[in-house]
Amino acid sequence: MRTPRHDLSRRRLLFGGAAVSAGVLLAGCTSNEQNPTEAQTKAAGSGANTEPGKKVSIGFSAPAADHGWIAAITNNAKAQAGAYQDVELKSVEAGADAAAQRAALSTLISQKPDVIVLLPHDGKELNAFGLEAMKAGIPVVNLDRAFPDARAYRCQIKGDNYGMGVAAATYIAEQLKAKGVSNPVIGEIPGIESLELTQERSKGFADTLASYGFKVANRRPAEFTVDSGQQAATGLFQALPKIDAVWNHDDDQGIGVLAAVNQANRKEFIMVGGAGSKKAMEDIAADNTVLKATVTYSPSMASSAISLARLIGQGKGMSDLVELQVPKEIVLASETITKENASDYLKLGF
Amino acid sequence: MSEATDTSLPAQSPPVERAETAKVDAPAKLSWWRGDGGEGAKRNLGLLAVLVVLVVIGILTRPDLYGDPNWVWGNTLTILKLASVVGVVTVGMTFVIIGGGIDLSVGAIVALAGVWCTTVATQSYGAGGMIFTALTVGLAVGVVNGLLVSYGRLVPFIATLAMLVAARGLAAEISDKQTQVSGNTFINGIASTNVLGIPLLVYILVAVVAAGWVLLNRTTFGRRTVAVGGNPEAARLAGINVRRHTVLLYALSGLCCGIAAVMLTAQATSAQAAMANLYELDAIAAAIIGGTLLSGGRGTIIGSLLGVIIFSTITNLFAINNLSAEAQNMVKGGIIVAAVLVQQVQFGSLTQFLARNRATTT
C-alpha cells in the first residue's frame, strides 16, 4: 500500500507541471480585447459647449462589472472623458457592495475632484455619501440609481424602468391586436427580482397590458445571466404549452432565453427584449428569431453623465435649453427598436 | 510517511459515524445501490417517496397539463435536463464531502471554464479545442484547490472560498466582462441534440453518475475516499496517502465542473463570468439531502442525484403553478432542514436523536 515518497513527488510534479503548462498555453492563445465603444460617445467639435474650457477633474465610480451593461457603462464614461481635452477622469473601483463603494468614494473626496459621477450599488444606501460630498462642495451626478434625497445630488440621469415596461407592453399589445388575438397568453422573464428597477419594469408592463385588457400568464425571474435566462425560459415553456408573447427584461440574459427557444423548438410567439444589446439588435434586424423588438435602456447614459458633469464643472448650461445651468434631473426615454429602425440604433448597442 | 497529521481534515466526527465508516472499510457486502453500511438504500427510498409526493402535487395542481402524456414525457426530460448540469457538479462535490472536505468554488470554476472555452481565441480551435480547454481549466483549478488544502494545509472552506473569489475575477478578466457568445454549432448542439428521444445532456449526466457510482463503490479509490473522510488519521495509519488522495478528490471535483461548463455553455449558447451563480450551494444542499454527511465518511452518489432531481422538480412545480421564486427558495430551505431531520429520526437512531434533544434542552 505504501508508495515510495520519491515516486509520489515525481508523479505530483508531472501532474502539476502538466496542469500549469496547459494553463500557460491556454492563456497565451486567449485574447478578448474589446474595442472601446465609438458612437456611444459624443465627439467634441460641434457647438459652443464642446470647445475646450476650464479644466475639470471628474471622479468616477461604478460597480465592478460582471455584466455587459455595467461594463459598457464604465467603458462609455472613460471613452467620453477621453474625448474632451479639458477633462481629467479619476476612476475608482466600487468593489463588491455598498460598503466597499462608500470606502472607495471617501478616498475620492480627499482628492477633491470638481465633480463626482457615480453609479451607486444602491441609491438608498449611498444617499448619505451624496449628502456628504455635496456638503463638501463637490457636485454629484447620480447615474441610473436615484438618491431618495434631493439634496444628495446636483444632477440625476437615469433610464426609465417603468417606461421600459410600458414600451414593451405597448408593442406586444399592438402586435397582438393587429393579429386579432383576443385572449393572449403572455409570459414575462424579469431579471433579479429583488431589485427596485425590476419591480418598476414589471409594474409598467402589467399596468399597460391591463389597459388593453390583457394580463401576464406566467412570470419566471432570472438573474441577468445567460444561464439563468435559459433556465427561466425553459420553466416558462413547460408551464405554458402555447404562448402568444414574451417580454424578457434583459438582452444579456436574452441570449440564454433564445437558446431555450431553439432547444424547446418553440416559435409560436413574439418576444421583446430589454436594454438594447448589439446582439439583440442584429437578431431583430435579421428577423430570423422570435425576437421582434427590444426596448432601450442604454448605457450611453454614462457618456451623457460625463458631459453633464463637465458642463456643471465649467458652470455652463445645455446649449439647446434656455436655462443657464444643467437641469436637475434627466430621465431617458425608453425607445422601441424594431426591424425598421434597428440599423439606426445599432451604433448604440453594447 | 509518518509526518504530520493532516489538520485540515475534520477528524472529530461523532463516534456513531466512525462506527459506520469502519463497517465500510471492512469488505462489506454492497447491494447495487448501497454506498454505505446499508442505510443508504433506505434513505434513497425515502427520497424517492419525496419525489413521488412532488409529482402527485404536480398532478393535483395542474391536471390539465398532466392529462397529456406527451407533455408529461417532455416535462420529465426537461426536469432531468435542468438537473443535468448541477447533477454533474454534485457528483464531484459528493466525493469531496465524503472525503472530509468541501468545495465552495464549483460555481466559479464552471464560470471560469465556460468563459475560457468560449473566448474568441479558443473558439477558433473548434469544438475539440473548446472542450479540451474547459476540461483542462476545470481540472487545473481543482488541482490547485487540492494542493492548497493538502500541502498548503489550508482549511478547505478557506482555500475554496479564496478560489471562488479568484476564479470569478479571472473569469471576468478573460471574458472582458462581456457575455461570450458561442458560435460553435457542435457545442451548442450538445444541448439540443436528442438520441433515441432522450436529450444528450441526460446521457452525460447518467454517464457521470454511473462513473461516480463505480468509482465510489467498486474501486480502491472509493474505499479510500470513505476512509479518509471518516478518519484521516486512521486512514493514514492504514497506509493511505491522505494528502495525495485529497488532491485527487478536488481534481475530480474540478473536472466535473469542466464537464458541467461545457454543458451549461451549450445550454446558454454562451458563457459569462456571472454564470453558474450559487451552484456550490445547490450542489452541497443536494448532496446533504442525499444523505452525505457534511463531516465526511458517508454518502451515496444515487442519493445526491435524487437530491438534485428533487430540487429540479420543485423548481418545475413552482413554474407550472406560476408561484414566485421567493416562495420557491423558502420551500427549498425547508426541505433541506426537513430531509436532514427525517434522516436523523428515521435512520440515525431515534433514541440518540431524542437523547441529544434532551441534552440540549436541559
Judged by a CB distance cut-off of 8 A, whether residue B191 touches chain A is yes
pLDDT per residue as tens digits for the range B80-92 = 999 999 999 999 9
Q: Which residue has the cell 473536472?
A: B255
pLDDT level of residue A31 (50, 70, 90 thresholds): very low
B81 and A234: CB-CB below 8 Å?
yes
Residue B30 confidence (pLDDT) above 50: no
Amino acid type, A154: R
pLDDT band of residue B41 (cuts 50, 70, 90) is: confident
pLDDT of residue B243: 93
pLDDT at A193: 86
Assess whether pLDDT exceeds 80 at residue B359.
Answer: no
Does the pLDDT of residue B1 top 90, yes or no?
no
Q: How confident is the model at residue B29 (pLDDT cuts 50, 70, 90)?
A: very low
Q: How far is B117 from chain A (nearest CA, A)?
A: 9
Report which of residues B175 and A258 the model is more confident about: A258
| Confidence tier at B5 by pLDDT (50, 70, 90) | very low
Q: How far is A114 from chain B, CA to nearest CA, in Å?
A: 29
CB of B315 within 8 Å of a chain A CB? The answer is yes
The listed range with the strongest mean pLDDT (A71-80, A204-213, B49-58, B335-344) is A204-213
Give the three cell numbers for residue A172.
406586444
Identify which of B6, B36, B88 has the alpha carbon closest to the alpha carbon of residue B253.
B88
Lowest mean pLDDT among A90-104, A280-294, B294-308, B341-355: B341-355
B chain contacts of residue A64, beta-carbon cutoff 8 Å: 172
Among chain B residues, the shortest Cα distance to A16 is held by B143
Q: Chain A contacts of B238, Cβ < 8 Å? A: 1
Per-residue H/E/C for B8-21: CCCCCCCHHHHHHH
Report in angstroms the alpha-carbon separations of A327 from A77, A92, A308, B144, B244.
20, 26, 9, 54, 66
Q: How far apart are CA B116 and CA A30, in angstroms?
A: 8
pLDDT at B348: 53
Mean pLDDT calculated for residue range A92-108: 84
* pLDDT the model gives residue B152: 92
Q: Chain A contacts of B271, Cβ < 8 Å?
A: 226
The span from the first CA to the last CA of chain B, in angstroms, equals: 46
Please check the confidence at residue A231 and state whether its pLDDT lies above 90: yes
Distance CA(B116)–CA(B169), nearest Å, equals 12
CA distance to A154, A305, A315, per residue, from A135 (Å): 11, 21, 18
Nearest CA in chain A to B238: A1
The cell for A217 is: 400568464
- Give pLDDT, residue B325: 78
- The pLDDT score that the predictor gives to residue B46 is 82
Mind giving me the DSSP string for B76-140?
A: HHHHHHHHHHHHHHHHHHHHHHHTT---TTHHHHHHHHHHHHTSHHHHTTHHHHHHHHHHHHHHH
Q: What is the CA radius of gyration of chain A?
A: 24
pLDDT given for residue B291 in this prediction: 87
Average pLDDT score over residue span A111-130: 90
pLDDT value for B282: 93
Show which of residues 151-170 on chain B sit within 8 Å of chain A, judged by CB atoms.
168
Q: What is the 3-state secondary structure (H, E, C) of B164-222?
A: HHHHHHHHHHHCCCCCEECCCHHHHHHHHCEECCEEHHHHHHHHHHHHHHHHHHHCHHH
How much is the average pLDDT of B182-204? 92
Nearest to B299 by CA among B97, B135, B107, B150: B97
Task: Decide if pLDDT at B26 tops 50.
Answer: no
| Share above pLDDT 90 across residues of chain B, in percent, rounded to a whole number | 60
Q: What percent of chain A has pLDDT over 90?
A: 62
Residue B4 pLDDT exceeds 50: no
Q: Which of A26, A65, A219 sits opposite B133 (nearest CB)?
A: A26
B227-269 pLDDT, tens per residue? 999 999 999 999 999 999 999 999 999 999 999 999 999 999 9
Over residues B55-84, mean pLDDT: 92
User: What are the chain A neighbours of B177 within 8 Å (beta carbons)?
Assistant: 65-68, 70-71
**Distances in Å between the alpha carbon of B345 and those of B263, B298, B310, B352, B353?**
38, 17, 20, 9, 6
Q: What is the pLDDT of residue A6?
A: 47
pLDDT at B355 over 70: no
Picking from B106, B292, B299, B302, the residue whose alpha carbon sits closest to that of residue B209 is B302
Rounded to whole angstroms, the Cα distance separating B282 from B286 reads 6
pLDDT of residue B224: 93
